[in-house]
Chain A
């Protein structure tokens, strides 16, 4: 994946030089290992900062909301699906965008890698399928496939769904993955076990809202958690309020979530809140045959009526 960068830079530079876009959104190296940050290149010179490696897990569609200028955007498979969702929801228009599609081989899980080492991690470099981690002065090689983000390991849409430019040859999609193994595991529990599972899952939550800030779907000018009149949910650390926040946020993402993993990646305490959104993603797939962001022409299941919509739950 490292070799994509030359092509990304070349395309971005060309777009900025011929003024077909006013800015290109990509990634640059962050100040900490495994923390690439968004980079907004407005001049061809800025493009020099761009990087591409296995730490580009942030979903850049998040930075497109209500933008008025013409934008070039570096987009993985999941990013393009979120861009499609943005277009469907009138948050940006297709004509404004030049999508630089990047076929993706998965991003690495910084939480998982951090837990593998007792010392602070100084550098993380990669070479094909090998990840080289330096912690406490010692180098340790890891297999990339062992430290993939959980959503990347079961991803079936690695290639951009739509694009104007492509940074590399398309990659092979994963075929034999059980996308919903984690959801099924919870479904098999009894009611009390389920409750306890989520209770312990959310117990470290500090309500920092990093998950909703990283999520490209969470673009409401005022989130329900910030409203005071009426106050929908308490603002403290009460477990009921914490649960209400995660649970309602997941519902707001129903039929829109692409399982890009940005929420989990952003969490400072490493909560896998994807188990909420993933359940809704599974339901949408099973009940409506819907996968978010796969087309620019199809309306999502929550704003269309079909006579055969499942309605067994209404008595």
Chain B
């Protein structure tokens, strides 16, 4: 994760969490946090391959 951040991927795009199958509320909380942070950053421009242009 440090290396991802080091080479220019926003750290808010990378999340790690440990959630038990019994922790539904924690799961919802984490998913909300992740989506909020990623939405705030906008679409990822790097590390993404565009489809080949077909004439």
A residues neighboring B (CB under 8 Å): 183, 186-187, 191-198, 234, 238, 240-241, 243-244, 247, 250-251, 276, 279-280, 283, 313-315
Contact = CB atoms under 8 A, between A and B. Distances in A.
B6 A186 contact: yes
Contacts of A191: 8-10
B16 A313 contact: yes
A187 B5 CA distance: 9
Given A198-B7, A251-B3, A314 B16 contact: yes
Contacts of B21: none
B49 A197 contact: no
For chain B, what secondary structure do more than half of its interface residues adopt (helix, strand, loop), or is it mixed?
Answer: loop
25 contacts: A191-B9, A191-B10, A192-B8, A194-B6, A194-B8, A195-B7, A195-B8, A195-B9, A195-B46, A196-B8, A197-B8, A234-B49, A240-B49, A243-B7, A243-B47, A244-B47, A250-B3, A276-B7, A279-B2, A279-B3, A279-B6, A280-B2, A283-B2, A313-B16, A315-B30
Contacts of A244: 47
For chain A, what secondary structure do more than half of its interface residues adopt (helix, strand, loop), or is it mixed?
Answer: helix
Residue among B1, B8, B33, B47 having the largest count of chain A Cβ atoms under 10 Å? B8
Contacts of B33: 315
Interface in B7-22: 7-10, 15-18
B48 interface: yes
Contacts of A313: 1, 16
Given A191-B8, A194-B8, A315 B17 contact: yes
A250 B15 CA distance: 21
Contact of B16 (A186, A198, A276, A315): A315
A147 B28 CA distance: 56
